[in-house]
Structure 1
Amino acid sequence: MSLFEKIRGEFVDIIEWLDSTNDTMVYRFQRYNNEIKMGAKLTVRPGQKTVFVNEGRIADCFGPGMYTLSTQNLPILTTLMGWPYAFNSPFKAEVYFFNTRIFTNLKWGTSNPIILRDAELGPVRLRAYGTYNVRIVQPEVLLQELVSTDGLFQVDEVSDHIRNMIMTAFTSSIGAAQVPLFDLASRYQEISNTIRQNMQADVQRFGLDLTQLLIENISLPPEVEAALDKRASIGVLGNMQQYTQYQVANSIEQSAQNPSGGNSFLELGVGLAMAQQVTNALNPNAAQSQQPPAAAPQPATSPAAAPPPPPQPQWYLSRDGQTFGPFPVNPLLQQGLTAQTYVWRSGMNGWQFANAVPELAVLLPPSPPPAP
């Protein structure tokens, strides 16, 4: 401290602190030789508290307001000093200002994945991160437990420790909750409150209060997320046969528009053949129905070949908004044909119930008579 500051302190003794850092929790007021004159003005602003320390012992505490330091405002310190006179001489004491506002947007997160067992996916590795808010509620406890003689105690000096406490509480809470992985997003608020309540007592041991804890995201490894995306994509596509035909048709169209040369008609034919093969692979019943029936053996004595049998009608079934077929008549019952199944074949005006078509009604089991 310069000579000018020393001389200035002899005439004007104003004790105050204006924080310009926004991350300082505790600040020790600087006074030459810690000498504070009796009658000095102490200003404690909203969001601050002040603690006087004399010879290693907490003497007095002040909340927001303006005080004139005298025997009336410093009863404990006056007793400790044991002044028998008019208390006009300076006394020596350390003054600590505590910032009691809420420190927000402090980060927490997993440094390594957490292994949990999910009921549907089995063992999985999770990562999580979020924010939390903390404030000072007991300056005397914080001074004794963490600050000690630190003249500038900032929030990062305690945030790492709180972050480790959060991770321990998070691992224990989410493991005990046994929430399915696909339901975690809907339980963020509940899990956050549980974690905050479980670790509140440990935080209060330092004179702090964990006012809020938020979970921003719980994520899986990239390869697991990619597998889940594929699984969801298959569910969105629905009818894979129709999707494959649509993709093949697009490929044929793009091939026909290819200006790089080649016989477009030949490519179109190859594409149609590939589409037919894919369709047959996805629907073996349709492939069998589209194959021409084998010619019946002709008797040796027959002078002329018998005419080929007429082609069997091909039926389509509609169920849950999807179309299945074509199928011949015989395997329709195996394909789930019921009296209320919509059916259609070439020559019909529209879809009809199976029991309304005479040639299919005979295949259906008889309905029982109404109950007596």
Structure 2
Amino acid sequence: MERIFNLVRNQLIEIIEWTDDSRDTLSYRWPDNDKEIKNGAQLIVRESQQVQFVAAGQFADLFNPGKHTLTTENIPILSTILGWKYGFQSPFKCDVYYLNTRLFTGNKWGTSNPVMMRDQDFGVVRLRAFGTYDFRIVDAPLFLKEVAGTDQNFRLDEFNDTMRSRIVSVFTEALVKAHVPVLDIAQRYSELGDALLPIINPAIRQKYGLEVSSFILENVSVPPEVEQAIDKRSSMSVIGNLNDYVKYQMGVAMGEGGEAGAAAAMPAQMAMGFGLAQEMMRSMQQPGGASAVPPPLPGNFAPAAAPAAAAATAGLDVLTPEQAAQALGVSVEDVMTAIHTGDLKARKIGSAWRIAKSALEEFLRG
């Protein structure tokens, strides 16, 4: 009789517990070896664990960390499913799923195909992005139903590919809804990840029973033509004030010296020459015509050529290229280049070029 009693007792489950030593298991179906759970059995749930009972294909009671005695009082859903109206005395069968609720960190994600989005600066652009995310299970029944299923031992490596595609899908939708400019995406990775969390989490939680606690963009790449546009815009921001940039270029050119310095200084010299010429033309239009000559500078620095140039051009309605070059303070070759490109209007009479004063004024006004 005692042998029969021991045999029966060995066929009943008295303690249910699971120690996770893998660090990568998301859910684990506790093996019952076709045994039944004894009335009053002990269920042990450790920290960062939850236990979900499933009976007759239905989700029953969910247990949080602690030591639980399985009686009618603490398994009300299971009692209803199995029809225990007045308590139970006999053993029962039930599937027991342990879920790991700790934070799983450093999971990689990335777009296998470019994400198409409309940008306010560059129009329709294609983006590729990758980074990492941290997540945890927050809804055990939903996670078992939609992700793990009835898998005996559902591990992170089985889940990565599936979750990566789902994360990318949700990321794409969130990025489009957020209307974040491409320039902000490329320059503010950490801020963008935090901003996308409130958009990503509701979808992830509702669909898969998960919560993403950290979403990090490590890199966002755009097509080469968009990269060039971003570089040009950055260069313009660095240059800043054009006048300061011209002065800087002149200083560098004078420091280099020689032909290279002269060539490098030409754009700056042209700009200064045009500015002096504009001042000269304005003085010619003042009352008194050529007589309105600015007073000489103090000391021995009074320019002798400027009054002569003003006198030479004040009474002329038509100028030669040489006179125009003198008025602009540039070389004759520069004037001829402007004529041939059409920037400066001139007329060729015989073998000589003539430039109307009105054409020169128009050229100076840009």
TM exceeds 0.5?
yes
CA–CA separation in structure 2 for the residues paired with 1:26 and 1:122:
45
- Aligned twin of 2:147: 146
CA shift for structure 1 position 178: 4.0
- Aligned twin of 1:272: 258
- Aligned twin of 2:329: none
Give the aligned residue type for 1:96. Y
Change in 2 beyond 3 A, CA 1:178/1:58: closer
- Aligned twin of 1:220: 222
- Aligned twin of 2:30: 29
Q: Is the 8 A contact 1:145 1:206 kept in 2?
A: yes
Matches within 5 A, 1:77-226: 77-78=78-79, 90-184=91-185, 185=187, 189=191, 192-194=194-196, 196-197=198-199, 200-201=202-203, 203-221=205-223, 224-225=226-227
Consecutive unaligned residues of structure 2, counting only runs of 5 or more, are 1-6, 284-295, 312-366
Give the aligned residue type for 2:93. K
Query: 1:80-125: CA deviations, max 9, x gaps?
Result: 5568999676433221111223333333222222333433334433
- Aligned twin of 1:46: 47
Comparing 149-158 and 115-124, the one that deviates more: 115-124
CA–CA separation in structure 1 for the residues paired with 2:181 and 2:84:
68
Is 2:234 the partner of 1:232? yes
Change in 2 beyond 3 A, CA 1:123/1:22: same
Change in 2 beyond 3 A, CA 1:8/1:278: farther
Partner-residue secondary structure (3-state), 1:32: coil
- Aligned twin of 2:350: none
Q: Which has the higher helix share?
A: 2
- Aligned twin of 2:340: none
Give the aligned residue type for 1:107. K
CA shift for structure 1 position 344: 7.7
Q: Is the 8 A contact 1:169 1:199 kept in 2?
A: no
Is 2:73 the partner of 1:66? no
Q: Is the 8 A contact 2:29 2:97 kept in 1?
A: yes
- Aligned twin of 2:279: 332
Q: Is the 8 A contact 1:129 1:216 kept in 2?
A: yes
Give the aligned residue type for 1:239. Y
CA–CA separation in structure 2 for the residues paired with 1:126 and 1:24:
33
CA–CA separation in structure 2 for the residues paired with 1:10 and 1:188:
56
CA shift for structure 1 position 50: 1.0
Comparing 78-87 and 48-57, the one that deviates more: 78-87
CA shift for structure 1 position 151: 1.0
Change in 2 beyond 3 A, CA 1:79/1:233: closer
CA–CA separation in structure 2 for the residues paired with 1:281 and 1:27:
74
CA shift for structure 1 position 27: 0.7
CA shift for structure 1 position 26: 0.9
Q: Is the 8 A contact 2:30 2:96 kept in 1?
A: yes
CA shift for structure 1 position 188: 6.1
Change in 2 beyond 3 A, CA 1:192/1:325: same
CA–CA separation in structure 2 for the residues paired with 1:78 and 1:93:
11
CA shift for structure 1 position 215: 3.6
CA–CA separation in structure 2 for the residues paired with 1:133 and 1:248:
57
- Aligned twin of 1:246: 252
CA shift for structure 1 position 212: 4.3
> Structure 2-normalised TM-score?
0.59
Query: 1:140-177: CA deviations, max 9, x gaps?
Result: 23223333321112345445444434433433443444
Q: Is the 8 A contact 1:50 1:63 kept in 2?
A: yes
Q: Is the 8 A contact 1:49 1:63 kept in 2?
A: yes
Change in 2 beyond 3 A, CA 1:232/1:189: closer
Note the aligned Cα RMSD (angstroms): 4.7
Q: Is the 8 A contact 2:12 2:91 kept in 1?
A: no
Q: Is the 8 A contact 1:130 1:214 kept in 2?
A: yes
Q: Is the 8 A contact 1:139 1:207 kept in 2?
A: yes
Q: Is the 8 A contact 2:183 2:230 kept in 1?
A: no
Comparing 39-48 and 226-235, the one that deviates more: 226-235
CA–CA separation in structure 2 for the residues paired with 1:335 and 1:176:
55
CA–CA separation in structure 2 for the residues paired with 1:127 and 1:113:
5
How many pairs align? 285
